[in-house]
Amino acid sequence: MAAKKIKVNRAPVLTLWAAVVAERLGFKEDEALSLGKAVAGLNAQAKGRSLGIFTPRKDTVAKAREEKKGERIFIALCNRAVPARVTPQGIRALQGTRTIEPRPVRRYLENKFGEAFPSVRKAMEDLARAYRPSDLADKAFALYEEFRPSVPPGLRGWGAAGELDLEKIRSLAPKSRGRK
């Protein structure tokens, strides 16, 4: 029997959820993994800044101006504007000027969730499929906030593992399934 609750940090949960949402919105799996990792990274940066852990670098604007126009695109996903680039392999999110490749993201998720990875992914995919893509795009982050692991507030919760409840994820699907 598959685990119903998994002890895990929030970052891999958001990474996987954002990737599942991106796939439901029409991105290929490798593109979605790249975008998912970027969403979690952007979320962590915002939270870290609010806790005083991270401060913006002074050279950020200058480095951004070095980018050639047209190289970056922004993709709206889970309430974040994800910087990305179209590569010969498909769309890849950017971390700074470097692309986020899907293979390490896949390994990261498999490592963090362990043998529960297929069960967690399926629960998230079922939830994503329960919504029309346009509705999911609007509700994705709010849904994540409903099922994400609980951790202590403030600095005590930074990087802490909490309990991810697969039944909670399943319960968030509207009663009428299989929306197009």
pLDDT tens figures, 9-48: 889 999 999 999 999 999 999 999 999 999 998 886 555 4
What is the overall mean pLDDT for the chain? 82
* Stated length of the chain: 180
Distance CA 180, CA 178 (A): 6
pLDDT at residue 54, rounded to an integer: 42
In the chain, % of residues over pLDDT 70: 76
**What is the enclosing helix (H) or strand (E) of 60?**
helix 60-66
Residue 115 burial (10 A CB sphere; 0-12, 13-18, 19+):
exposed
Q: For residue 130, count other CB atoms closer than 10 A to its CB.
A: 20
Distance CA 37, CA 141 (A): 14
Sign of CA dihedral 8, 158, 136, 165: positive
pTM for the full model?
0.81
Distance CA 172, CA 153 (A): 24
Phi, psi of 73 (to 5 degrees): -125, 165
Report, as an integer, the average pLDDT of 80-99: 90
**How many helices, marked H, and strands, marked E, lie in the chain?**
7, 6
